[in-house]
Amino acid sequence: MKNALLAASPVSFCVLLCLSACVVEAAPIIEDGLVAMYRFEDNADDIGANEYDGVEFNGISYGVGVHGQAAVFDGVDDRIQLPHDAMNGLSDFTFSVWINMEPRGAISNPIISAANSSVDNEFMVYYNIEGYGDPEDTFGASVGQHDLFWSDISLAFDSWHHLTVTRDTTLETVSFYIDGSLEYEQSWSLSDPLDVDLSGLWLGGDQDSLGGGWNSSQQFFGAMDEIAIHDRVLTGAEIEYLAAVPEPATMVIFGCLGAGMAAAGKARRRKRG
Ligand SMILES: [Ca+2]
Ligand SMILES: [Ca+2]
Ligand SMILES: [Ca+2]
Ligand SMILES: [Ca+2]
C-alpha cells in the first residue's frame, strides 16, 4: 500500500508546498539586545518581551509595508507615542526602520523624537528633503541636542528604504546605514545615557518641547515599518540581515496557485481520460 504522502492528490501536495513556501516569508528579527520592535500589523504594539506598546494620535492608519502592514502618517499631525523606556537610559544603541516617503516640498521627515524637560532633541532621527535647510537631502540624527548628519544622498519617493543609526560609546561614533550598507560615520564623544522623560518619545513628529512644540513642516509623510530598537551596536552583518529585501510573497503565492491549478487540470484530465 502506498504511504499517505504518495497517495495525496497533486492538488493537496501543491497546497502543502505553497503553505511551506509562504511560511518562509517571516520578517527578520534579532532578539539579542532587543528593547522594542514595532511591526505595525494593524497596531502599534511592541512585539518584544517588554511590551512597550505605542499609542496612535490624530488618525494613524495602516497600509502595505515591507513585511505585512506598515504605519501610515499623513504629514500633518499623525504621531505615535512610545513608552519612554523604549529608549530612556540607553548608551550604546541601534535604531532601525523601513521608510517609504510620499513626495512633498522641502520638508523634514522626523522619524523618532526623544525629549526631556530641558533638551528637546535628546535623540532624533530624520530625513530632510532637499531645500529644507540644506540644498541636498539630509539623513541625520541628533544626540544630546548635537546634530550629526550626512547630505550626499537622495532617496526616491514611493519606495522602501531601510535606515539605521547606531551609537557606539566606546568608539565614540554615530553611524548611518542605508539599505544595509554603512554610508557615513561621525565622531561624537557624548556617552551619557539617553535621558527621555515620560511623555518624551514619539514617532512621526519633532518635539520642540517635552511632548509638544509640534511644527507642520516637521511631520513625517509616508509609511514606516519594522522599527527595531536594540541596546547595543548591531554588527554590519546584522544590519544587512534586517535590511534584506524580502522575496515578493505575492509571486510565491501566485506561483503556487498557478502550479496548483495546472496540477488540478491535469488530475481532472486524467480522470476524464
Ligand atoms: Ca510590518
Ligand atoms: Ca491626522
Ligand atoms: Ca521643531
Ligand atoms: Ca526639536
pLDDT per residue as tens digits for the range 167-212? 999 999 999 999 999 999 999 888 899 999 999 999 999 999 999 9
pLDDT per residue as tens digits for the range 216-250? 999 999 999 999 999 999 999 999 999 998 776 54
CATH of the domain at 75: 2.60.120.200
Say if CB 89 and CB 192 are below 8 A apart: no
User: Per the structure block, which three cell numbers stand in for 191?
Assistant: 556617552
Q: For the stretch 180-193, what's the b/e string if a residue is b when 16 or more beta carbons lie within 10 angstroms of its beta carbon?
A: beeebbbebeeeee
267 in helix, strand or coil? helix
Closest ligand to the CA of 214? 3
Task: Determine, yes or no, domain membership for 110.
Answer: yes
**Domain extent at residue 224:** 35-245
How many Å lie between the centroid of ligand 1 and the Cα of residue 66?
6
Task: Determine, yes or no, domain membership for 198.
Answer: yes
Closest ligand to the CA of 217? 3
User: What distance in Å separates the CA atoms of residue 165 and residue 124, rounded to the nearest whole number?
Assistant: 10
User: Per the structure block, which three cell numbers stand in for 59?
Assistant: 488618525
Q: How many domains does the chain have?
A: 1
Task: Determine, yes or no, domain membership for 1.
Answer: no
Q: C-alpha distances in angstroms, 128 versus 99, 163, 214?
A: 13, 13, 16
Q: Does the pTM exceed 0.85?
A: no
Task: Determine, yes or no, domain membership for 153.
Answer: yes
How many Å lie between the centroid of ligand 4 and the Cα of residue 206?
5
**Residues at Cβ < 5 Å from ligand 2 ion:** 58-59, 74, 77-78
253 closest CA partner among 1, 8, 25: 25
Task: Determine, yes or no, domain membership for 194.
Answer: yes
